[in-house]
Amino acid sequence: MISNTTHKASQTSARRRPVTETISRPGKIIAIHLSYASRADQRGRRPASPSYFFKPASSVAASGGTVERPAGTELLAFEGEIALVIGTAARRVPLAEAWSHVSGVTASNDLGLYDLRANDKGSNVRSKGGDGYTPLGPDVIDARSVDPEALRVRTWVNGELRQDDTTAGLIFPLAQLVADLSQHFTLEPGDVILTGTPAGSSVIVPGDVVEVEVDAPTAPGAPTSGRLITTVTQGDVPFDGDLGSLPAVDDLQRTEAWGSREEAGLPPVEKASALSPELRTLLLEAPTAGLSAQLRKRGHHSCFIDGVSVNIPGRKIVGTAKTLRFVPFREDLFTTHGGGYNAQKRAFDAVDEDEVIVIEARGDATTGTLGDILALRAKTRGAAGVVTDGGVRDFDAVAEIGLPVFSQGAHPSVLGRKHVPWDVDVTISCGGATVQPGDIIVGDSDGVIVIPPGLAEEVAADAVAQEIEDAWIAEQVAAGHPVDGLFPLNAEWRARYEAATSDRGQR
């Protein structure tokens, strides 16, 4: 137990809270940057491997204490976390044995001051090393009594639940952190590992009361750490600029501290688009056949997304690409990336008006890459359509929703048969064409083409001009003229065409 005479019994004290040891001042405190999928998705980046930073032992505080927001700062943020207490020395331990070196589990609050983060460059020395920035406790759960994959962490601010997640949502299992760190240095008895925070971390202000609890709700007796209570106070001593850099904040730090631009009170970022209203109008007039011909004249021969057709006959799509990439199914990768708020859901939740979601499914038509719920979400957000070189489930329902979808056809399977949703907003291959975020996508009954944004205006203008010329040629053919010399126009027919169109323009 972490002793503190001011700690009051919480509402959860009726549950069993086994105490295994006393935490005073750990030799080392190691914290991970990103570990929960919900937090990684909120930040828009998912690490391939865990990365860490150290916190000083002097930052440890007990439950019932206070933490100071320094004078001249605004972005003190809470992070409710599960803390692991090392029981026996661990050096180069294999994954299968790593958990046996953990003696206890407790609650922690990895407090951070975003005003000081810019100059720490990932080390977090100043931004997370302040006195009282690592509250721990109040009680320690016996690690032998719980399943490390079935722990829960929750955080309340002024009685309102702000964080609620379980270790099932971790990108890296708890035992992996122990094994990984032991490759590099000896974990000694009493060392503490802070295992990361889920989504929901945000800014706190003087007067706020933060409570963090870690428990094992499915274990016998539902053991709990009890609530770790910290009250925020206002400091009155400013930092000395002659000694080091002063606090400084910008909109990026505000966004990350609060959790979103909206929570920070910032206006949404205006998204630059290569598709102006005038260009969109031209592209709606130009058929893909004419656009592809203009691209070919400019040396672009690989603009076609092959093998796809539209689910609503006669519908045309014009928009900018928002990309989604699936990788081939693999059991362990689907476990880490297939569930929860995965890349597929993120793409459909974030698509903007007049964007086309373009999906790389490796040309495999034997599995669905979207269904009616995701189609409804895209339709509601104003998406121009979806292009996938895979299949579509709920095919008729998707068509009834009214969202144009170009695909290889219907397939009833759900996610997890052939694919793992992997990346959003990256360069992909769809139907044999390279597609980058922001590329211009045009699809009609002839198929779908990809236009580099820098060529879109001239290609669209020339394609519309060619369409007008082709319509005049069709009139001549319908009148009985042979196509030789007429299609394409030779010098004589060109003169006739220019004279005819000149007369029309003078009327």
Q: Which pLDDT belongs to residue 473?
A: 87
Tell which residue, 106, 351, 361, has the closest CA to residue 228: 106
CATH number for the domain harbouring residue 443: 3.50.30.40
3-state class (DSSP) for residue 461 = helix
Vertex 324, ends 323 and 326: CA angle to 5°?
145
Mean pLDDT of 157-172: 94
Q: Which pLDDT belongs to residue 503?
A: 60
Q: Which pLDDT belongs to residue 506?
A: 42
- Residue 124 inside a domain? The answer is yes
Same domain, 331 and 441: yes
Tell which residue, 201, 95, 208, 87, has the closest CA to residue 141: 87
- Per the CB < 8 A criterion, the answer to whether 109 and 135 are in contact is yes
Among 4-8, 13-17, 29-33, name the most confident range: 29-33
- Residue 500 inside a domain? The answer is no
Same domain, 240 and 310: no
* pLDDT one-digit tens code per residue, 270-317: 666 678 889 999 999 999 999 999 999 998 988 999 999 999 999 999
Same domain, 248 and 366: no
Element (H, E) at 420: strand 419-424
Of the residues 407, 430, 451, the one at which a domain ends: 451
State the pLDDT confidence band at 21, using cuts at 50, 70 and 90: low
Tell which residue, 272, 300, 274, 302, has the closest CA to residue 453: 274
H-assigned helices in 205-276? 251-258
**In sequence order, which residues have a C-beta less than 8 Å from that of residue 122 and are 6 or more positions away?**
33, 51, 53
Neighbours of 104 (CB within 10 A): 22
- Per the CB < 8 A criterion, the answer to whether 400 and 371 are in contact is no
CA dihedral 98, 99, 103, 105 (to 10 degrees): 130
- Residue 466 inside a domain? The answer is no
DSSP per residue, 186-199:
-B-TT-EEE----T
**What mean pLDDT, rounded, does the chain reach?**
90
Same domain, 70 and 195: yes
State the pLDDT confidence band at 259, using cuts at 50, 70 and 90: confident
Low-confidence winner among 10-24, 39-53, 354-368 (lowest mean pLDDT): 10-24
Q: Which pLDDT belongs to residue 271?
A: 62
Same domain, 325 and 237: no
Same domain, 252 and 308: no
- What global pTM score does this model have? 0.61
Higher pLDDT, 393 or 3: 393
- Residue 477 inside a domain? The answer is no
3-state class (DSSP) for residue 251 = helix
Residue range(s) defining the domain that contains residue 335: 301-451
- Residue 264 inside a domain? The answer is no
- Residue 478 inside a domain? The answer is no
State the pLDDT confidence band at 11, using cuts at 50, 70 and 90: very low
* pLDDT one-digit tens code per residue, 40-62: 877 777 788 899 999 999 999 99
Of the residues 206, 239, 258, the one at which a domain ends: 258
Rounded to whole angstroms, the Cα distance separating 239 from 252 reads: 22
Q: Which pLDDT belongs to residue 392?
A: 95
Mean pLDDT of 153-161: 97
Same domain, 226 and 373: no
3 has a pLDDT exceeding 90: no
CATH number for the domain harbouring residue 36: 3.90.850.10
Mean pLDDT of 177-193: 97
Same domain, 156 and 35: yes
90 beta partners? 187
* pLDDT one-digit tens code per residue, 70-105: 999 999 999 999 999 999 999 999 999 999 999 999
Same domain, 118 and 44: yes
Same domain, 226 and 312: no
**Number of domains into which the chain is organized:** 2
Of the residues 235, 258, 281, the one at which a domain ends: 258
471 has a pLDDT exceeding 60: yes
Mean pLDDT of 158-164: 96
418 has a pLDDT exceeding 70: yes
23 has a pLDDT exceeding 70: no
Same domain, 237 and 372: no
Q: Which pLDDT belongs to residue 485?
A: 87
- Residue 495 inside a domain? The answer is no
12 has a pLDDT exceeding 60: no
- Residue 289 inside a domain? The answer is no
Rounded to whole angstroms, the Cα distance separating 507 from 501 reads: 10
Higher pLDDT, 161 or 471: 161
Same domain, 333 and 225: no
